[in-house]
């Protein structure tokens, strides 16, 4: 077996093994603090620095950071039980639970959204890495720090090439470092906060603001809503991750609190708020520049080298995750590891030439995460908690083809799919993530929260009126039967 075949086999086996229901005795998060720490680790990613750099543009720094905190907390308080409760109860992943609402084949839609999210953040980190390395080179040379296009492009190509090489040869070589990366990010954040207070003074930080001509809006109400929108969008990216973590918790009382506090307060808003202060005081949202400006050429370059190392490990992890997740899609499962990785990484070659635009569009991408998951979160919440009354037939999630009760029409619940599509369209009508233009209604309640509630309500009404009476999807109310099904063991498959 060649090296590539061996990696492909490992990725496939990880994909399959990752789908096995987790039994109570196998769960690893027994306490509030252990799950809290894991949530902090997951949320404290490199791009939290980048997101923070843009928050001061929402009217002012405190409105942006406050709104972001509110959005993260509300979003996670809603998303965590939505994606986590069924996974906790049955020990299965969010994508398997999603089959009960989207159908055994329709669940490819949330899976695709998860792939886009992982690959997209991978490209953001690529652009950030190229800029960071460029800044270090310029600092070492004694040049004025700025954008050097040829150097940035070369470094971006180098980083994507290195990540591709590692994924082809030793994809798990950096695995052991990943658990230390978040610790490093929090440590860097604390050091940066201390340096900010030392350099500028506490009172100066309280009044920090970007020039009014650069603001997305000078209306504080709209600025607050924008901050909330970014926070909710970030919380919605928890949807594909939350189930995988929730099924490793041993007590249900430890599900919601640690997720909201860890990811929604400490892990993300804290890092982003410090980044926001640094961005305003140093005059750039680019963390690769303000870190060196703030900490000085020596300490700043050293910190930046550590951050870049972390970035490479993060990129490898994100694209490796894409490779593993993609094994669940028939087309990818039939292809070699080389092709799978090439498909996901090849846009990185284009990104190398447009890293400025990628970094400038990071908030748009964050909002597009919200666009993708608002409908999905609303539909799956109502389907599991209300229509299925918190009971799914776990066997049906592991049956291929028309034999599954969750097969709906050709394996797809078109009601869920259409409502998810309509939710995306409505979101984009309320708020355009590219231009930041918004409908008048956006100012008061944002886009993600009302769209999530509207899609949930619409899904409930349509399913209740038209689908449940047909008996499709084996909803308890329509079948009137218990969930115990007599599926022969040989029909169950991963």
Partner 1 sequence: MQSNFVAETSAGIIPDSDQERMQRDLVARIQRIEEINRIDPSQGDLGKSQIMEMLLWIAFSIVIWIVFLISS
Binding to partner 1, residues 112-151 (CB under 8 A):
114
Torsion of CA 184, 190, 193, 195, to 10 degrees: -80
Given the complex with partner 1, which of 59 and 310 has the nearer CB atom? 59
The three-state secondary structure class of 131 is helix
Query: Is residue 244 close enough to count as binding partner 1 by CB under 8 A?
Result: yes
Given the complex with partner 1, which of 41 and 188 has the nearer CB atom? 41
As measured in angstroms, the least distance from the Cβ of 33 to partner 1 is 16
For residues 460-489, which are near partner 1 according to CB under 8 A? 484, 489
> Residue 169, exposed/middle/buried by CB under 10 A (0-12, 13-18, 19+)?
exposed
Q: Are 352 and 156 in contact (CB under 8 A)?
A: yes
Given the complex with partner 1, which of 85 and 359 has the nearer CB atom? 85
> Number of residues in contact with partner 1, rule: CB under 8 A?
80
SS3 content of the chain, % helix, strand, coil (to 5): 75, 0, 20
- Interface pattern 32-61 for partner 1 (x via CB under 8 A): ---------------------------x--
CA 44-23-392 angle, 5° bins: 90
End-to-end alpha carbon distance in the chain? 24
Contacts of 167 (CB under 8 A, 6+ apart): 7, 316, 319, 320, 323, 341, 345
Given the complex with partner 1, which of 170 and 330 has the nearer CB atom? 330
When binding is defined by CB under 8 A, the residue of 4, 21, 177, 476 that contacts partner 1 is 21
Q: What is the DSSP letter of 412?
A: B
- Sole residue written with tokens 């406050």: 66
Query: Is residue 221 close enough to count as binding partner 1 by CB under 8 A?
Result: yes
For residues 309-328, which are near partner 1 according to CB under 8 A? 321, 324-325, 327-328
When binding is defined by CB under 8 A, the residue of 216, 255, 280, 307 that contacts partner 1 is 255
Given the complex with partner 1, which of 264 and 287 has the nearer CB atom? 264
Query: Is residue 258 close enough to count as binding partner 1 by CB under 8 A?
Result: no
Distance CA 241, CA 436 (A): 27
For residues 1-20, which are near partner 1 according to CB under 8 A? 8-9, 12-13, 15-20
**Whose CA is closest to 451, among 379, 369, 374?**
374
Neighbouring C-beta atoms of residue 262, cutoff 10 Å? 24
Neighbouring C-beta atoms of residue 15, cutoff 10 Å? 18
Given the complex with partner 1, which of 77 and 468 has the nearer CB atom? 77
Q: In which element (H, E) is residue 477 found?
A: helix 476-479
For residues 75-104, which are near partner 1 according to CB under 8 A? 76-78, 81, 85-86, 88-91, 93-96, 98-99, 104
As measured in angstroms, the least distance from the Cβ of 10 to partner 1 is 10
For residues 342-401, which are near partner 1 according to CB under 8 A? 385, 390-391, 394-395, 398, 400
As measured in angstroms, the least distance from the Cβ of 415 to partner 1 is 19
As measured in angstroms, the least distance from the Cβ of 309 to partner 1 is 26
Distance CA 129, CA 351 (A): 12
- Residues forming beta bridges with residue 409, ordered by sequence position: 412
When binding is defined by CB under 8 A, the residue of 45, 51, 61, 108 that contacts partner 1 is 108
When binding is defined by CB under 8 A, the residue of 7, 44, 51, 107 that contacts partner 1 is 107
Neighbouring C-beta atoms of residue 274, cutoff 10 Å? 25
Given the complex with partner 1, which of 42 and 49 has the nearer CB atom? 42
As measured in angstroms, the least distance from the Cβ of 215 to partner 1 is 14
Query: Is residue 240 close enough to count as binding partner 1 by CB under 8 A?
Result: yes
The three-state secondary structure class of 20 is coil
- Sole residue written with tokens 């919380």: 235
Given the complex with partner 1, which of 16 and 158 has the nearer CB atom? 16
The three-state secondary structure class of 58 is strand
For residues 187-216, which are near partner 1 according to CB under 8 A? none
As measured in angstroms, the least distance from the Cβ of 157 to partner 1 is 29
Query: Is residue 448 close enough to count as binding partner 1 by CB under 8 A?
Result: no
For residues 398-417, which are near partner 1 according to CB under 8 A? 398, 400
Neighbouring C-beta atoms of residue 247, cutoff 10 Å? 25
Q: Are 228 and 443 in contact (CB under 8 A)?
A: no
As measured in angstroms, the least distance from the Cβ of 478 to partner 1 is 19
């Amino acid at each position: 077996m060649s090296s590539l075949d061996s990696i492909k086999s490992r990725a496939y086996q990880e994909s399959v093994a990752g789908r096995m229901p987790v039994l109570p005795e196998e769960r690893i998060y027994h306490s509030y603090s252990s799950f809290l720490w894991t949530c902090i680790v997951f949320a404290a990613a490199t791009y939290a620095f980048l997101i923070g750099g843009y928050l001061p543009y929402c009217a002012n720094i405190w409105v942006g950071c406050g709104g972001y905190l509110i959005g993260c907390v509300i979003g996670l308080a809603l998303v965590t039980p939505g994606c986590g409760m069924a996974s906790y109860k049955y020990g299965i992943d969010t994508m398997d639970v999603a089959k009960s609402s989207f159908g055994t084949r329709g669940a490819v839609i949330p899976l695709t959204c998860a792939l886009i999210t992982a690959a997209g953040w991978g490209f953001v980190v690529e652009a950030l890495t190229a800029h960071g390395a460029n800044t270090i080179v310029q600092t070492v040379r004694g040049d004025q720090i700025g954008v050097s296009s040829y150097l940035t492009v070369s470094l971006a190509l180098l980083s994507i090439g290195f990540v591709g090489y590692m994924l082809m040869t030793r994809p798990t070589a950096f695995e052991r470092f990943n658990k230390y990366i978040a610790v490093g990010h929090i440590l860097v954040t604390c050091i940066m906060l201390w340096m900010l207070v030392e350099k500028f003074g506490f009172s100066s930080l309280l009044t920090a603001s970007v020039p009014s001509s650069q603001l997305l809006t000078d209306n504080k109400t709209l600025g607050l809503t924008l901050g909330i929108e970014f926070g909710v969008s970030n919380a919605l990216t928890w949807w594909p991750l939350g189930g995988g973590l929730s099924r490793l918790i041993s007590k249900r009382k430890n599900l919601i609190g640690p997720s909201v506090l860890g990811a929604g307060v400490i892990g993300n808003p804290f890092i982003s708020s410090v980044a926001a202060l640094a961005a305003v005081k140093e005059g750039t949202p680019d963390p690769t520049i303000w870190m060196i400006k703030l900490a000085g050429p020596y300490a700043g370059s050293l910190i930046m080298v550590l951050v870049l190392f972390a970035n490479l490990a993060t990129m490898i992890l994100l694209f490796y995750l894409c490779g593993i997740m993609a094994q669940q899609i028939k087309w990818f499962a039939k292809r070699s590891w080389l092709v799978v990785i090439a498909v996901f990484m090849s846009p990185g070659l284009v990104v190398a030439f447009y890293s400025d635009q990628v970094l400038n569009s990071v908030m748009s991408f964050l909002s597009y995460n919200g666009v993708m998951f608002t409908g999905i979160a609303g539909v799956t919440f109502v389907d599991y908690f209300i229509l299925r009354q918190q009971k799914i037939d776990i066997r049906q999630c592991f049956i291929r083809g028309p034999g599954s009760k969750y097969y709906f029409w050709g394996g797809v619940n078109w009601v869920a799919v259409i409502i998810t599509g309509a939710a995306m369209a409505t979101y984009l009508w309320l708020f355009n993530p590219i231009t930041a233009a918004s409908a008048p209604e956006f100012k008061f309640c944002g886009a993600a929260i009302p769209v999530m509630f509207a899609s949930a309500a619409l899904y409930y009404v349509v399913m209740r009126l038209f689908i449940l009476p047909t008996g499709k999807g084996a909803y308890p109310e329509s079948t009137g039967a218990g969930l115990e099904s007599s599926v022969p063991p040989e029909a169950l498959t991963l």
